[in-house]
Structure 1
């Protein structure tokens, strides 16, 4: 039985993405294969929209091919580190180094700011030419918070073979990042069981 894989745009965010931009970045490829239609960073235009939506860059920032490639490479480092955390294995040293390098690019000092639409908020000053570096630094800091903070024990990877998205477990027995993934896996299991029972006795496979 073939299982239809849904583009990222049609999938609901995995639990935890709303508070952890590192999870959202890791999941922006949507599933384990890297087909362009499932990748929210497949073009500079899509990547710019993705980052604007999450307020990682200002509304007037445009990503170009070079920056988009850097973002894609950084995403793989984030996925490698999160994957090691969920599997309980030693992380790739290059991936860890990439996270630390991103954190060190932008000073961590933040300033108090105010405007009529949002009121008081914190703001970090940086040159427009450093917009991507600032975004990567923020995501890298979130990776550290995620892996060393209170949420570390709930980090998991969706058990659906066709998915691979990372999530925070909302309860101990949760295995899927979405109802859609759970339904797909259960349907595949039911089909496999039915196929197995439909084979005549004594027939070899």
Structure 2
């Protein structure tokens, strides 16, 4: 199951060297958008520019603030637990961004009928951010929100959808890291 909103907030992650931001520069954003072009309705030859990157980072922080609210009373991601914008400001930004690039259902016929959502009347920047905001709105208003969790493994900063009742971490690697840290704490005395 793929959730564009989760992919978007997961552009901030931690690795062995510390925090990594896949959208830290124009080249990184260009690569990420091209990788997700089909979901975003973007041209496969898309090239980002600094203003779009800046506005996209602002939107990402707003979505992360909404995710933090959705997992409450659980803790937000450690990546931005203290640096998130206010909830009301975040909600307004996400809704305004989604509204700025409305979509309309269109019937496609590629070997048979299928439904596609086509952005109407907006430039490429607004359509891209609108699709990201819409993905966040759909995710947070949908059934996936109830299973949204923050990974509590050491150094992990990701949100994930809990797919199994016993799932505690976003990945096997995080589970292994958490168990190793717990073992170390219990046996270091």
TM-score range, shorter chain: 0.7 to 0.9
Q: What is the deviation of 1:134?
A: 1.2
Contact in 1 for aligned 2:4/2:135 (Cα 8 Å): yes
Segments of 4+ moved more than 3 angstroms: 113-116, 118-121
Q: Which residue of 1 aligns with 2:6?
A: 23
Q: How many residues align?
A: 174
Structure 2 portions without partners, runs of 5+: 75-85
Distance in 2 between residues matched to 1:108 and 1:31, nearest whole Å: 34
Structure 1 portions without partners, runs of 5+: 1-15, 197-205
1:45 to 10, 17, 27: 27
2:105 to 80, 85, 110: 110
Structure 1 length normalisation: TM-score? 0.75
Contact in 2 for aligned 1:78/1:99 (Cα 8 Å): yes
Q: Which residue of 2 aligns with 1:195?
A: 188
Q: What is the deviation of 1:108?
A: 2.2
- Per-residue CA deviations over 1:10-29 (Å, capped at 9, x if unaligned) read xxxxxx5x2x1111110111
Distance in 2 between residues matched to 1:185 and 1:83, nearest whole Å: 21
The structure with the greater share of residues assigned to strand is: 2
Bigger Rg, which one = 1
What CA RMSD, in Å, does the superposition of the two structures yield over aligned residues?
2.5
Query: Is residue 184 of structure 1 aligned with residue 177 of structure 2?
Result: yes
